[in-house]
Amino acid sequence: MPASLQEVKRRIDSTKKTRQITSAMQMVSTAKLSQIQKHATSYQVYATKIRSVITHLAKSHLLDSKNFGTTNANDSKLNTLGMLRQRPVKTTGIVVITSDRGLVGSYNSNVIKQTLQLIEDNNRTPDDVAIIAIGGTGADFFKKRGFNVAYEYRGVSDIPTYKDARPLVEAIVTMFDSEVYDELYVCYSHFVNSLTSEFRAEKMLPIAAENMGYDDLAEQADSNYSIQYETEPSEDAILEVILPQYAESLVYGAILDAKTSEHASSSTAMKAASDNAKDLIASLELQYNRARQSAITTEITEITGAQAALE
């Protein structure tokens, strides 16, 4: 077999093996996507409810910071009620959720690109931004470009659990109380469907009524009706419980949504790679058959010519 035919044959075999790998990865990503969608659907019920509660508290003005006076660094309730504190913005914190690995198409690049655009739109420089990176890709990217990566979390499971969000929320709120940043955005890729995702940037801290859209239930309430609550044992005690749950729901919801989008992007990317490999194999096989036919024709011509010479 001529050297050129051997090279084409090796490329065909190599591409077939690559296609087997990408096809297997596509099936794995599709299975993970199916599993995480079930979790996301059930969690959405809780997230909607906790958001409805916070919305009603906002409309009743229980979230107004003026209701709580001032706190100091020794106040044991700082980590909770501190989430309501409004102060001049010197540093902006940004939670960036990316993947730990590649092979997810444009998933990571879209999130990073839009996050950089958010920083530019807010007239921020690397010195004015504190990055909280969830996922190794985002952490490595911003470190290389001179941003302050105040916290990074790698190794998020393929199907994140609610417990994954708790240490993140504690670290995020502690840094907010310590004035590492004065406001916080959560940036991630929102899952729309298996083929489409969109970038989202939600303001998480400080918690305020203007940072959230009132849900349908709240919008249906009479605008002239003032929602009031009688609290037991106290407003502070209620907020001590509800505010951490709301913060955890935001972070966990964003992680769950981003992971869903990641699996969808991975499945789509691997399907595209498998389809491209299939097309390449067909092209190489056509090239191989033509070269082989040409070689056979040349051999027959040489044999015929030799026979004619002998006669």
pLDDT band at 133, cuts 50/70/90?
Answer: very high
pLDDT given for residue 291 in this prediction: 81
pLDDT given for residue 218 in this prediction: 43
**Per residue in 93-121, pLDDT tens?**
999 999 998 888 889 999 999 999 999 98
Can you name the residues that pair with 176 across neighbouring β-strands?
Answer: none
**Per residue in 199-254, pLDDT tens?**
999 888 887 766 655 444 444 444 444 556 666 777 777 777 788 788 888 888 89
pLDDT given for residue 108 in this prediction: 92
Specify the 3-state DSSP secondary structure of 62. Answer: coil
Burial of 6 (0-12, 13-18, 19+ CB in 10 A): exposed
pLDDT given for residue 52 in this prediction: 79
- pLDDT, greater one: 156 or 70: 156
Where helices occur in 200-234 by DSSP H, the ranges are 216-220
Query: How much is the average pLDDT of 56-68?
Result: 60
Share of the chain above pLDDT 70, in %: 83
pLDDT given for residue 306 in this prediction: 75
Classify residue 278 by its DSSP letter: H
Pairing of the two strands 92-97 and 183-193:
parallel
| Structural contact between residues 126 and 146, judged by C-beta atoms closer than 8 angstroms | yes
pLDDT given for residue 72 in this prediction: 46
What is the rounded CA–CA span in Å between residue 78 and residue 206?
A: 13
Can you name the residues that pair with 188 across neighbouring β-strands?
Answer: 200
pLDDT at residue 63 is higher than 80: no
What is the rounded CA–CA span in Å between residue 203 and residue 216?
A: 20
What is the rounded CA–CA span in Å between residue 117 and residue 111?
A: 10
All structural domains of the chain, each given as residue ranges with its CATH number in brackets, are 23-221+228-270 (3.40.1380.10)
What is the rounded CA–CA span in Å between residue 55 and residue 66?
A: 18
Query: Over the chain, what is the mean pLDDT?
Result: 81
Q: How many CA atoms lie within 13 A of 111 on its CB side?
A: 31
